[in-house]
Structure 1
Amino acid sequence: MAEQFDNGIPADRLTGAQWRKASYSNAIGNCVEVAPLASGEIAMRNSRFPTGPALVYTQAEMAAFLAGAKDGEFDDVLG
């Protein structure tokens, strides 16, 4: 059995968060959802576990990650 990691905060504590799912998600729910927060930060969660955990990032952190993803910097983690 794979090791389970838990971190972040319970997503249901982020009241008022408007979660949205990537259009690349598949029908069995393997996807990530993001929600902009009133604080200006961005929350991210696994859609299969909507109550959490959620990770919260600053806009600068999310911008750096997205730039790296668009440049293919993380392609190697897929095998």
Structure 2
Amino acid sequence: MIETSASRTVVSELEGAPWRKSTYSGSNNGCIEHAALPSGRHAVRDTKDRTLGTHIFAPAPWHAFVTAVRDGSL
């Protein structure tokens, strides 16, 4: 589930979020950043153009995505 970042709750969670750049980011500027939010949701954004917005994921879909990436099924 992807949630929009329009609600005030999400906006306040994103302010001061602990963003981390992906360790898989290369030198070709194909980078993303991730932040674990206080609500348990996860935020992802494009490092080189943060104005494109942020995708917010509920915990279960986020963990399913991470598991799929790790086990190679995605």
Q: TM-score, normalised by structure 1?
A: 0.69
2:5 corresponds to:
9
Return the alpha-carbon distance in structure 1 between the equivalents of residues 65 and 45 of structure 2.
Answer: 15
SS at match of 1:56: strand
Instruction: Point out 4+ residue stretches in structure 1 off by more than 6 angstroms.
Output: none
State the AA in 2 paired with 1:65: F
Q: How many pairs were matched up? A: 66
Return the alpha-carbon distance in structure 2 between the equivalents of residues 56 and 48 of structure 1.
Answer: 18
Q: Identify unmatched segments of 5+ residues in structure 2.
A: none
Q: Identify unmatched segments of 5+ residues in structure 1.
A: 1-7, 75-79
Cα RMSD between the aligned structures?
Answer: 2.1
Task: Report % sequence identity.
Answer: 34
Q: Specify the structure having the higher radius of gyration (Cα).
A: 1
Q: TM-score, normalised by structure 2?
A: 0.72
Relative to total residues, which structure has the larger strand share, 1 or 2? 2
How is 1:1-79 mapped onto 2 (pairs within 5 angstroms)? Answer: 8-9=4-5, 13=11, 14-74=14-74
> Is the 8 Å Cα contact of residues 9 and 52 (structure 1) preserved in structure 2?
no
